[in-house]
Structures are given as C-alpha cells and as structure tokens.
Chains A and B, each alone.
Chain A
C-alpha cells in the first residue's frame, strides 16, 4: 500500500465484524476487518494554486514526494504526526478535508530550514508550511495561530518604527494571545538576567520598552512599506476563494 493512503485506515474507516461468513466460508478473526471503500468526491481543485499564491508557497508544484523534508524535520522528530511531505501531497491532490484535520499542527513549523536544505527540488517546504498555515486562517478553518499573532505584532512594530524592542514585542504578544505577563518561569528568568546587569543597562532597557527605539527619518519608509503591504494583503485575499477579510494582516492594529 502506498504510504500516502494511510489516512484511509484511521479507526473510523475500519469495519470489524465478530462473526462473518462470506460465500459459505467463515472468515471471522483477522479476516473480518475491512477498510471501508471511499470514493473521493470532495476535491478542492484550487487549493494548490491558492497556496502557491501566498508568500512561501510559490514552488509547491515542484514536489515529487521524496520525503526528504519530513525525514529532516525538527518538529517531526518530536511529533510523527507533523509531516510536511504528506501535507504537500494532500494539497496537490486537493484533499481539503484531510488537510484541515491537521490545522492545529501545521503552524508549528519552527522555520529551522532543514527541509529547505535537504529538498532536491527547491520546493522550499518551510515556506509552503507558512503559506499553508496562512491559507487555513484565510479560509476560516482556524483562528490566527500564536505564530501568526507574533509575526503580525513583530512586523507592525518594524513597519511603524523601523525597529523592534524585545520587551515590548513580548508584552504586546501576551496581550494579543490573552496570556498573563507574569508567568512564573518568566519571572525567574528575568530575575536571573537582571541579577548581574549594571544599573545603567537596566535603565536603558526599561527606557527602550517604554519609549520605543526608532530609526530616524523612518516616516517615508513606513509609508512605502505599509502601502505595499496593503496591496499584497488584498492580492492574497483575492487569490483565496471565500477568504475572510477578518484574517487580513492590518499593521495599524
């Protein structure tokens, strides 16, 4: 059996009979387990093109399913269900329902680039994972992942001021995702960090968190970037059928 058919033998697709007689022959026991036949009619023929239209997804068509991406994957080593090759297969076949089953996993790609390093076809699987996660959000299959929230918080700070400041990114990210700022492990970490810090540095960092560092004369660059970013976001929305405008990135937020 080709490995990519393994999704058909999930428990709910198995039919097991205690006692089964076929054509007068008793086949009870191991022979009484059958895989339900399944006719696929729910193809989404646009899925590959839509994902290819999002940043990072451009080269998905090159994939020839060798599996080097999954084999080298950092997250797959922790969780075998994280399988970039399999997802690329589902996307290329148009199996939207199957892909959506893994909507809470795909965003977990850590962008280590091991897959992109190993890929013999320059698919850039790391980019495909990001584009796929983005697509799932645009289609409304899943709310924005913590990773997307982080990217958006970070990017809007960069667009606004030219720079980011660690403390502020963290605080705003926790606010966006409804997490408390005072997490015990974080308090322990900050305590250890500031224990050896010269007071002057401490003041400088606190100052930077409150009064955001900026790149001087950044105004025109900000305008140019935000104008371009908006054009791109509208293009992405238009590329994905039924995309929810809510899922769009708005740097002003």
Chain B
C-alpha cells in the first residue's frame, strides 16, 4: 500500500478526551492537517473505545466498543484507514483488531453485541488503525516537513514522551519493530524524527516510555505524582525546555501532577508540556493561539517566545 497516498484522507477518531481536557490536541491536529493538505473526516457518531477502564469490567465489551468505531468508518463511511491521536484509543483499536483476528470468543461477543445494537459487525482487516504520528510521518515525512517549515523550532530543547499505550504490549503492533523505517517499541523515535525535522533539538531522555500513572491519575494520586515528578525531573536534568506529548491522558497527567507536586509537596518544576501537533503547527507558522497552546494548563508561550519561535 502506498501510505503516502492512503493517509492523505483518513477517518478521524478524536475520542472522548480530545473533546474534554485534550481539546488543545484536537484543535492542533485539525489545524495541522489543514496546513499540510491532509483531509480528516470525523467518524460519524462515534463512541468511547473503552479507555483503560472497561476492560477491567470485561475485555470483550471493550473489544466491541472499539470495533463499533472501526465498523462505522469502514461500513458506513467507506474508509480503510482510521487515525486516532489518543494513545488509549489507538491502543484499544489495535487491541480489538488483534483479538478479532486471533480469538474466536471475541468475535462471537462482537457479533452478538453488534447485531443487537443494529449495525454491521466489524471484520478484522477492514481498516488499518494508525496514530497521529504515523499519519504525519508517512503522509508527509521528515524531508517534506523540513521543506515546508517556516521559522521552525530554532533548536528548542525537547524531551519526547511517548508513554505506555503507544508501544506496549508489542504483539498488538505487528508493524512495529520491523527494521529501518518502522517504529521501535523499546526506543520509539517517530516524534523525535518529526520534531528534529521541524528544527528542534531532541535531548537524550531516558523516560520516553515510562509510565505517568495515567490509569490512576485520580484513584491513586500519590503514586501518579511520584511517577510524574520522575518524568519531569528527568526531562529537566536532560536540559529540556519542553516535553512533547502525543497522548491526552499523559499530557493531562503531567500537567495535573506538576501542579499537585508543587502545591502539596513543594516540588517545583518548570518544564512545559506541549502536544507534538502544537509544536509542528507553530514550526509551520501557525500561531500559538490557533494550535491551542493557550489551552494547555502548562502555558508554554514564554518558552516559545524566549527562542523567538512565535
């Protein structure tokens, strides 16, 4: 498949978080697509993928929820690629694809729930699910991105943070770890590649795939605060001015617990969080307002101004 062509127009699955705390990610993803001439068609009347929670009630309900989104994209809209910017959504759609390919029980439950819900049952292989990183990387690529960049990121020091759900567990991402050009599950680099092409200086950051405690952001606050402080401090020690994110749960977790660490434990950190789509948007000449940087709780405008980026 010619990915460059196939990803020019994709079904867009924002998910619940991008309509709430992750609105800056939603806005910047759409603006970035527009700027780069990539077309996004939102999945009609989508539902929640099940996130990190429904699987603990029953994993097959989660498979069904994710399959419904893919079924609408494939059967009602005629798409063969679904792009999900949220790590949780992306992970769950991939997991559903894996389970529907390999597990008879999951197929049976999905069939039962789909027919009762009154829509076509999703069949494994009908769509390819991709992350927003795959979308920009394959539809545009570093070379073309570097050509289109206006102003660029001027050596802004960035720690790239990918979190858990983008790479783990390996078996649900058969396209990863396939040698040159593919994403690595142990040392992911797609975001590093894109931001470097946009003029950033990526710092050597060991906690790229560490956990922020996102699943327990509210239910086990102290654990989450400790995990987040580790990440923020490691990024600062590596010299980062900004942590680039590609997941709304990680992003919100880092922001919330940065504030909590300061208010409840007196641990102050200054590194700012920005979605990679916001950074790429700014590098391409979009205003910080347009890509929703004002909407982040950690306001990174000063960091951009200091380097005369925007």
Cβ–Cβ contact B255 & A189, under 8 A: yes
Q: Which residues in window 131-162 of A have CB below 8 A to B?
A: 134, 145-152, 154-155, 158, 162
**A151→B264 contact, CB < 8 A:** no
Contact assessment for A208 and B170 in the assembled complex, using a CB-CB cutoff below 8 Å: no
Across the interface, name the chain A residue whose C-beta is closest to B54: A155
Interface flag for A71 (CB, 8 Å): no
Q: Which A6-27 residues sit within 8 Å CB-CB of chain B?
A: none
Within 160-190 of A, Cβ neighbours of B (below 8 Å) are at 162-167, 170, 173-174, 177, 184-186, 188-189
CA distance A195 to B218 in the complex (A): 22
Contact A134 B48, beta carbon cutoff 8 Å: no
Q: In the bound complex, how far is the Cα of B214 from the Cα of A150, in angstroms? A: 12
A103 within 8 A of B: no
Q: A164-B51, A193-B297, A197-B294 are in contact. Are A223 and B227 (CB under 8 A)?
A: no
* B193 interface residue (CB < 8 Å to A): no
Could you mark each residue 91-120 of chain A with 1 if its beta carbon is under 8 Å from any beta carbon of chain B, else 0?
Answer: 000000000000000001011111011000
Closest B-chain residue to A145, C-beta based? B219
Q: Considering the complex, which residues of chain B in the window 116-159 have a beta carbon less than 8 Å from any beta carbon of chain A?
A: 116-118
Instruction: Give the residues in chain B near A225, CB-CB below 8 Å.
Output: 61, 64, 113
- Per DSSP, are chain A's interface residues mostly helix, strand or loop, or mixed? helix
A220 to B55, CA, bound (A): 21
Q: Render B54-97 as a binary contact track against A, CB cut-off 8 A, 1 for contact.
A: 11111111001100100000000000000000000000000000
Contacting pair B20 A167 (CB below 8 A): yes
A113 to B55, CA, bound (A): 14
Interface size class of A (residues with CB under 8 A): 35 or more
Residues of chain A within 8 A of B299, CB atoms compared: 192, 195-196
| Chain B: interface residue total (CB-CB under 8 A) | 65
**Chain B nearest Cβ from A117, distance in angstroms:** 5
B289 to chain A minimum Cβ distance, whole angstroms, is: 8
Let me know if B185 and A228 touch, CB within 8 A.
no
Chain B, Cβ-Cβ closest to A226? B61
Q: Is the CB of B55 within 8 A of A184?
A: no
Contact pick for A55, options B56, B168, B211, B264, CB 8 Å: B56
Of the listed residues B48, B53, B57, B116, the one surrounded by the most CB atoms of chain A closer than 10 A to its CB is B57
Instruction: Please determine whether B47 and A147 come into contact, CB atoms closer than 8 angstroms.
Output: no
Contact A117 B53 (CB under 8 A): no
Q: B16–A111 contact, CB under 8 A?
A: no
Set of chain A residues within 8 Å of B303, measured between Cβ atoms: none
Check if A164 sits within 8 Å of B168, measured CB to CB: no
- 0/1 per residue, A199-218, Cβ < 8 Å to B? 00100010010000101111
Q: Compute how far the CA of A162 lies from the CA of B220 in the bound complex, rounded to whole angstroms.
A: 26
- Asked if B256 and A189 make an inter-chain contact with CB atoms under 8 angstroms apart, the answer reads yes
Find the residue from A117, A149, A193 having the highest chain B CB count within 10 A. A193
Q: A164-B16, A192-B299 are in contact. Are A111 and B46 (CB under 8 A)?
A: no
The residues of B with any CB-CB pair to A shorter than 8 Å are 16-17, 19-21, 23, 45-48, 50-61, 64-65, 68, 109, 112-113, 116-118, 164-165, 167-170, 185, 210-211, 213-216, 218-220, 223-224, 226-227, 255-256, 259-260, 262-264, 293-299
Q: Give 10 nearest A-B pairs by CB, closest first.
A: A196-B294, A112-B211, A224-B116, A166-B20, A221-B117, A113-B168, A162-B47, A146-B219, A154-B53, A193-B297
A-B contact list, 21 entries, CB within 8 Å: A55-B55, A110-B211, A111-B215, A112-B211, A114-B164, A114-B211, A147-B56, A147-B215, A150-B219, A158-B50, A158-B53, A158-B54, A196-B294, A213-B19, A216-B45, A221-B113, A224-B113, A225-B61, A228-B58, A228-B113, A232-B57
User: Residues of A with Cβ closer than 8 Å to B?
Assistant: 55-56, 74-75, 78, 108, 110-114, 116-117, 127, 130, 134, 145-152, 154-155, 158, 162-167, 170, 173-174, 177, 184-186, 188-189, 192-193, 195-198, 201, 205, 208, 213, 215-218, 220-221, 223-225, 227-229, 232, 249
